[in-house]
Each structure stands twice: as C-alpha cells, then as structure tokens.
Structure 1
Amino acid sequence: MLTMVIIAVIVIVLAILLYIGRGRTRGSRGQGLKGRFGPEYARTVAAHDGDTKAAEQELGARVKEHGSLTEQPLSPAAHERYVTRWDAIQEQFVESPQQAVIEADALLARLARDRGFPDGERFDDQIAALSVHHSPYVQGYRHMHTAARDQSGTEEMREAMVEARSLFEALIAGQPAGSASDRHHPQSPDGKGHAPWALSRRHAKGSST
C-alpha cells in the first residue's frame, strides 16, 4: 500500500514538473517572438482577438518558413535605379497623390522581390517574409498597400508614404534604416530636407479637409 502511495506521489510530481517545464518553454518562446517581431507581435495577437497562443503559432510558422531566407544584394545600377525612381515618386505625390502611392507600392513590391522575398503578387506571403526580417517597418508597407487600393484621403496617403519609406530604406541599404528622425524627415531632391508629400496638405490636388 505504501509503495502504491509513493508511486502515485512520484507520478504527480513528475506531471507537475512537466507542466511547469512546458510553461517555461512556451514563455521563453513567447519572449523570443516578442523580441524578434516587436510591434508585429502585438498586431498579430490583436488580429487573433487576443489569442496569444494562436498568434505565436502564426509567427512561429513565419519564422519556420522564411527565417532561412537570404537577402540578395542589389547591383550598384539597380540600387541607383530604385533610389532615383523613389525620389521621382516623392515629387509626383504633390500633383498626383493617389498615383504616387500606387507606384510606390508597386516599387516596394519589386524591390522586395529583387532582394529575394516572395513576389509582390502574393502580398500576404511577401509581407509575412518581410516581417521576419524587417518587422519594425512592415506596418507602413501595409498602410501604403491599403492606401493604394482604397479611396484614402490625401493626408492618409501622405502618412502611408512616410511610413513606407523606412522599409524602402531598409531594403535599399540591406540593413535596418537609420534614426527615427531620418526615417520621418527624409531628404528630398531639393536638398532642403522638405519631403514633397509634406507640402501635400496645402498644394496636393484633391486634398481632403
């Protein structure tokens, strides 16, 4: 009888230790995902209505599928073409905000593809892969992708362009973009530090009030 009691106690203790171990493993995994994805972690939890387990399963699947992706370098010529085209789109925003956002969205999709990410025609796959490697910047890309397809106001499109530029810089440089001030106040072609879309509140055609 005593032997049976001892065995039962051992089984219970082992079960408790196993449960605690699993909890610690999950907690460690969750902290790792939070550190890797940053704001994207919170966004994914919210998308799953607060279900942390489901969100972590999704993020873990992204890492498993795209974590080994190696970003491809751009040739100097391609680098120059992308920078020149982005600057031209910024200038275009003043006169044609919607068209500029559409073209910037397409340019980012091509740039991501050329860096080795999934093709932009599969936006969900592309954004998932980008979130693994450039998580701080993908929400801006989402905003611009949405603005390019919806009837957004000029101010909303301007903000989307500003946000999306940080991903453009990260991809064009092959590393995370610079300081927050650099990302939100990019140098314009006029050399005076005024981003063309900053003028859109007063000068862009079709500006919302």
Structure 2
Amino acid sequence: MSTGVIIILIVVAVALVAAVAARLVMARGAGGGRGLKRRFGPEYDRAVARHDGDSKAAERELEERVRRHGSLREQPLDPAARERYAVRWTAIQEQFVDSPRDAVVEADRLLAEVAGARGFPDGGRYEEQLSALSVHHAHHVNGYRRVHLAAHSNGAATGRGGDTEQLREALVEARALFEDLTTSATTPATTPATVPTAASTTASARTTRTDPARTARTDDSSRGGRSHLPWALNRRDAKGS
C-alpha cells in the first residue's frame, strides 16, 4: 500500500471520528435540554425568560443548581412537627382575612423554617435555599418566591384592591409548596395504632390536601359570615380593600 493511500485512509478515519464525536455531543446537548425541561417544568421556562430567551444560558444555570444541590437528601418530619406546622399554616390563612400582608410575611417565615427542617439551606440564605428547593420541588417553588418578594416589598403590596388579590394568589401558590414539604417523606408514628378520637380526626383533616374550592368554612359567625381561607376571599373581604 502506497504512502498516499495510507494518508488518505488516515484522513478519512479522522473525519469519521470527528463526525461521530460531533453527533454525540449534539445528541447529549439535546438530551440534556429535554431532561432539564422534564425535571424543572415551569422553572425551566422562568430561567429561559430570565436569560432573555437564551436557553443555553438557562440550562447552564439549571445544571449548576443540580450540581450544587442534586445530592441533597431531604430530612423527614415527625408527625408532631408536621401537625405544628399545619396549625401555624391554618392560622396564617385565618390571619389573611384581616391582614393580608402580615399573613404573607408569616407564610414566608414558615416556609423558610419548614425548608430548613427538611434539610435545605438555612432560611437566612434565601437565594441558596430557593435554588435548592427548585431542584427538588421545581413545580411549586415559585409560590415561595412570590410570598418572599411580597413580604420584602417595603410596602409596595399594601393589601388593598388588586394588591390583595395578588397576595391571595401568592399565598395559594405557596400552599402547594408547604404541602409538598410537610406531606412527603414524613416519619411514621411509632406508637401503636388506636381508634382515632374526635380531636385527632379534626387535626388530621386539617392537614389533608383538599380542593381549595371546597374548603371554605361554614362556621363564619365570628367574622360576620366571611370565610377564613384566602382562596375563598374576594376584594371586599379584606379590611382596607
């Protein structure tokens, strides 16, 4: 075989290897984008919008979040802690009727506390905590983002008119994350099973996920017939609206 033929074969082989490598890189990139879309859902779209439509930049950001927080293992909540958090969330919903903005501030604090108890970064490092939550609770993390922004708006959201509706929507969205954090990976009770009492049945019902449209209370005498729950609230229900 002549030297010229050998050189031609080498060139052809190198070209083939380069072509195969290029296709593999392209396939890996496309698969990575699809995987990130599946994993992050609406959070993927928000990242793209934040990068002015640059999907590659958004994917690099999301990949970095996964690199930093993907190995995080959520800590379980014991039933007592879960019940305490549920009681506090119910109080927040009731507080919303008279003081929407204060209720949102409390919701922001409670979400940070529950996330910390589940093993996420401390609430004092909000951006880091939000980043970690977005990796493990991508479909509901925006509720936390919304109540945090409202809670730190320096009075921009006053709880009047349209502001009240925005706060209500933020609180309803945040509730989905709260339920995710308090109903997943809980520690089972270690005490023997017993017949539930009326009190325990009431407490259990309070923490069960329900259709928001059907959860308005019927006993409204203490507030003149108004519902305590934010998703049943309209603009005339909050004081100062």
Q: Distance in 2 between the 1:142 and 1:127 partners?
A: 7
Aligned in 2, Cα 1:93/1:6: closer, same or farther, shift over 3 Å?
same
Aligned partner of 1:131 in structure 2 is 134
Corresponding position: 1:161 with 2:189: no
How far did residue 73 of structure 1 move?
Answer: 1.3
Deviations 1:80-100 (Å, cap 9, x if unpaired)? 111001001100001001100
Aligned partner of 1:171 in structure 2 is 181
Q: Distance in 1 between the 2:97 and 2:34 partners?
A: 43
Corresponding position: 1:196 with 2:229: yes
Q: Distance in 1 between the 2:18 and 2:117 partners?
A: 51
Q: Is the 8 A contact 1:147 1:156 kept in 2?
A: no
Deviations 1:92-149 (Å, cap 9, x if unpaired)? 0010011000011100000000011111111111111111111100111111111112
Corresponding position: 1:206 with 2:212: no
Q: Distance in 1 between the 2:141 and 2:78 partners?
A: 24
Q: Distance in 1 between the 2:59 and 2:214 partners?
A: 34
Using structure 2 for the length normalisation, give the TM-score.
Answer: 0.77
Secondary structure of 1:136's counterpart equals coil
Using structure 1 for the length normalisation, give the TM-score.
Answer: 0.89
Q: Distance in 2 between the 1:82 and 1:190 partners?
A: 23
Aligned partner of 2:215 in structure 1 is 187
Aligned partner of 1:75 in structure 2 is 78
> How many residues were matched structurally?
202
Quick one: which amino acid aligns to residue 46 of structure 1?
A
Q: Is the 8 A contact 1:185 1:195 kept in 2?
A: no
Deviations 1:36-91 (Å, cap 9, x if unpaired)? 11111111111122222221121111112111111111122211111001001100
Quick one: which amino acid aligns to residue 79 of structure 2?
P
Question: Quick check: which has more Rg, 1 or 2?
Answer: 2
Aligned partner of 1:30 in structure 2 is 33
Secondary structure of 1:68's counterpart equals coil
Structure 2 unaligned segments of length 5 or more: list them: 158-162, 186-207, 221-226
Q: Distance in 1 between the 2:20 and 2:71 partners?
A: 34
How far did residue 29 of structure 1 move?
Answer: 1.4
